[in-house]
């Protein structure tokens, strides 16, 4: 796991680490990262309709030899929990989560406090938590 304060340059770091497949559901806290992701060729990026689907798509790509990344906001972590617990962990399938760490607005406070602990409880340490949060306006 790691916490970063900004998503600036994050895609380049992930590509340099060998990641070659991206899927997920957007978050305003990941705007710069996602602007870069949307420039990727279509064989490297598939937007999903919800976070569980994204983990499923990533798992399929991983089984075919890709090194995937799933991007999501922490509000979507609940949707990702079942496929992490019942697919990725028992089948030994790896995927890196890039999580927008929302935590200030009332609807984000609870998940903002427990997101990392939830992942720790699951035993999932392959994630990047992006602390920058976009709450303007």
Partner 1 sequence: MRARDEAIREILERHGTEAVYVASTGYVSRAVHAAAGPEHVVLYMQGSMGLAPAIGLGMALAADRPVVVINGDASLLMALGSTHTIRDHAPAHFFHYVLDNGCHESVGGQPSAQLESSYPGVTEIVRVERAGKPPRVAVTPEENARAVRGALVNAAVHGSRR
Q: Cβ(83)–Cβ(55) under 8 Å?
A: yes
* Cβ proximity to partner 1, 20 vs 131, nearer residue: 20
Scanning 79-87, 101-109, 112-120, 127-135 for contacts with partner 1 by CB under 8 A, the matching segment is: 79-87
CB of 92 to partner 1, least distance (A): 6
End-to-end CA distance of the chain: 31
By C-alpha distance, which of 97, 74, 80 is closest to 22?
97
Q: Which of 24, 29, 68, 100 binds partner 1 (CB under 8 A)?
A: 68
Q: Is 55 a binder of partner 1 (CB under 8 A)?
A: yes
* Cβ proximity to partner 1, 49 vs 104, nearer residue: 49
Q: Is 102 a binder of partner 1 (CB under 8 A)?
A: no
Helix (H/G/I), strand (E/B), else coil: 82 = helix
Q: In angstroms, rounded to a whole number, what is the distance separating the alpha carbons of residues 18 and 38?
A: 18
């Amino acid at each position: 796991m790691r916490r970063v304060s900004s998503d600036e340059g994050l895609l380049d770091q992930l590509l340099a680490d060998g990641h070659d497949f991206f899927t997920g559901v957007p978050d305003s806290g990941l705007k710069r990262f996602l602007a870069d992701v949307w420039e990727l060729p279509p064989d490297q990026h598939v937007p999903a309709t919800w976070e569980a689907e994204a983990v499923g798509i990533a798992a399929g790509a991983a089984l075919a030899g890709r090194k995937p990344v799933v991007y999501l906001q922490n509000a979507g972590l609940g949707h990702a929990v079942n496929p992490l617990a019942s697919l990725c962990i028992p089948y030994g399938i790896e995927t890196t989560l890039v999580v927008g760490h929302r935590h200030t607005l009332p609807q984000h406070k609870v998940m903002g406090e427990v997101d990392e602990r939830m992942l720790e409880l699951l035993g999932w340490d392959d994630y990047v938590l992006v602390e920058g949060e976009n709450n303007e306006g």
